[in-house]
Every structure is written in structure tokens, then in C-alpha cells.
């Protein structure tokens, strides 16, 4: 009965590899997000999709590509991983931003 | 200037104490305001929304001052379980996203 679920929870990979993180929500929300939390704990938005359409694309390297096959899923693919990509990536969803977000439990990515 | 600014702390208080956190935001067009709580190695969770008239939820009271672009959170009778990082969050309606402060860390000691 998890509301927003992300997989995997932990990901350790070498520089240069390509990896994907998956996110699914069963709340019926229209909007989904990817946030990155760096080592200083600062949460920064990367992307947002509303009903499968990209509505927010912050200044993120184009090695990061989100994909939303339907409004309940938002996946994140990262090409050519770099050391600086190490962080916790959180997926979130909302019905309306005014009601706040529900977050997934995060994916801790470590690039070695 | 950061869009949402908070004192990082840590605030180290004894059980039973009252503690207050403040937050300022830069965009006067912001319409929605929240406090989130984040435990170590966990996801942020919504603690409470902040309304113009101020609102209370048990031991927690949130206040908004639009003129000064300032939000506060007051915790009364602190419990050990209140130890966490408290994130001030502001919605910028024009960009349909939530902007998070870097958080204020609270440590409640026995």
C-alpha cells in the first residue's frame, strides 16, 4: 500500500555507466517530480511531469532523461554517470502543488 | 539571495522546551507555504501547511507574515522524537513547484 515507491533504494555504480531509477505512485495524482538532495542536504527540483507532459525542466545536464509512460510512473535515466551525480534522488507526486507533495523513500546513488 | 532561507542550526534543546524556527522567502508572489520534517536518511514528510491566519496542530504552531515574507514554526513541550530536520517550503505558483529551504536541524536531549 506504499503511496510513492522508488526502486532501487541503493545504487552503487562506476563512472561512465548508465542507470535508471523507477518511480510509481498509486495516489491518483496528476503531477510527478524528481528532486535531487546533495551532500549538503539541499533539495533541488530537476523535472516535473503533469499527465505525462514535461512541465518543469530545470538546468539539469542532458545526461539526465526523465520518461513518463503514464501519469502513475516517472522514471529517470542517467547516462555516463559522473562522481558529482552521487546524491539521494527523490520522486514525489501531488494532485495540486497547493496541497504539498508526497515523497518516495529515495534512491541513494553512489558513483565510484 | 536564496529563495528560501533558514538557520541551519542545530538547535539543541532539553525535553519539554519550547523552540521556534524561522524562515524567510524571497518571492512575494508565493501563495502556499509548508513545513516538512525530514528524519536522517528518510524522505521529507509534510508536517503542516501554513495559513495566513496562523494554524496549530497539537504542539505545533505555524505562522505566516506576508508583509515581511517570513514563516515560523513553534514547537511546544519538545519530545525526543521531535529530533529531525525541519524544512521550510514555499510554492511559487508561477512555476508550479515547491522550493525547499536547506532545513533547520533540531536535537532534543533527555
Each residue's pLDDT tens digit, A47-89: 999 888 898 888 789 999 999 999 999 999 999 999 999 999 9
B91 and A106 in contact by Cβ < 8 A? no
Instruction: Please tell me the distance in Å from A96's CA to the nearest CA on chain B.
Output: 9
> Is the pLDDT at A16 greater than 90, yes or no?
yes
Which of A32, A33, A36, A101 is the best mutation test for B, with the most CBs of B within 10 A? A101
Nearest residue of A to residue B6 by CA position?
A: A42
* Dihedral angle over CA of A53, A59, A60, A63, nearest 10: 90
> Is the pLDDT at A96 greater than 80, yes or no?
no
| pLDDT recorded at residue A58 | 86
Q: Which candidate from A41, A97, A100 shows the least CB-CB separation from B103?
A: A41
> Is the pLDDT at A31 greater than 80, yes or no?
yes
Contacting A residues, span 36-65, partner chain B, CB-CB under 8 Å: 40-45, 48, 50, 55-56
Cell triple for residue A80? 555516463
User: What does the pLDDT average to over A5-31?
Assistant: 96
> What whole-number distance in Å separates Cα of residue B103 and Cα of residue B60?
17
| Residue A61 burial class via C-beta count within 10 angstroms: exposed 0-12, middle 13-18, buried 19 and up | exposed
Cell triple for residue A60? 539539469
> What whole-number distance in Å separates Cα of residue A30 and Cα of residue B38?
24
Those residues of chain B that have pLDDT short of 50 are: none
For chain B, the distance separating the N- and C-terminal CA atoms, rounded to the nearest angstrom, is 37
In terms of Cα–Cα distance, which of A80, A82, A79, A100 is closest to A33?
A100
A36: Cα within 13 Å, side-chain hemisphere: 18
Quick one: pLDDT band at residue A105, thresholds 50, 70, 90?
very high
Amino acid at each position: 500500500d506504499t503511496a510513492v515507491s522508488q526502486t532501487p533504494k541503493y545504487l552503487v555504480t562506476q563512472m561512465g555507466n548508465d542507470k535508471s531509477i523507477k518511480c510509481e505512485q498509486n495516489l491518483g495524482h496528476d503531477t510527478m517530480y524528481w528532486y535531487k538532495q546533495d551532500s549538503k542536504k539541499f533539495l533541488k527540483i530537476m523535472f516535473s511531469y503533469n499527465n505525462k507532459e514535461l512541465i518543469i525542466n530545470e538546468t539539469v545536464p542532458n545526461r539526465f532523461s526523465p520518461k513518463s509512460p503514464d501519469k502513475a510512473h516517472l522514471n529517470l535515466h542517467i547516462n555516463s554517470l559522473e562522481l558529482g551525480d552521487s546524491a539521494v534522488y527523490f520522486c514525489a507526486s501531488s494532485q495540486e502543488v497547493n496541497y504539498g507533495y508526497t515523497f518516495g523513500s529515495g534512491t541513494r546513488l553512489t558513483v565510484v | 539571495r536564496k529563495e528560501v532561507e533558514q538557520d541551519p542550526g542545530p538547535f539543541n534543546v532539553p525535553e519539554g522546551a519550547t523552540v521556534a524556527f524561522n524562515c524567510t522567502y524571497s518571492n512575494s508572489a508565493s501563495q502556499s507555504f509548508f513545513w516538512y520534517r525530514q528524519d536522517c536518511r528518510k524522505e521529507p514528510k509534510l508536517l503542516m501547511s501554513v495559513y495566513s491566519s496562523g494554524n496549530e496542530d497539537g504542539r505545533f504552531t505555524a505562522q505566516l507574515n506576508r508583509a515581511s515574507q517570513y514563516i515560523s514554526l513553534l514547537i511546544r513541550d519538545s519530545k525526543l522524537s521531535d529530533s529531525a530536520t525541519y524544512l521550510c517550503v514555499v510554492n511559487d505558483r508561477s512555476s508550479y513547484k515547491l522550493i525547499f529551504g536547506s532545513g533547520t536541524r533540531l536535537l532534543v536531549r533527555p
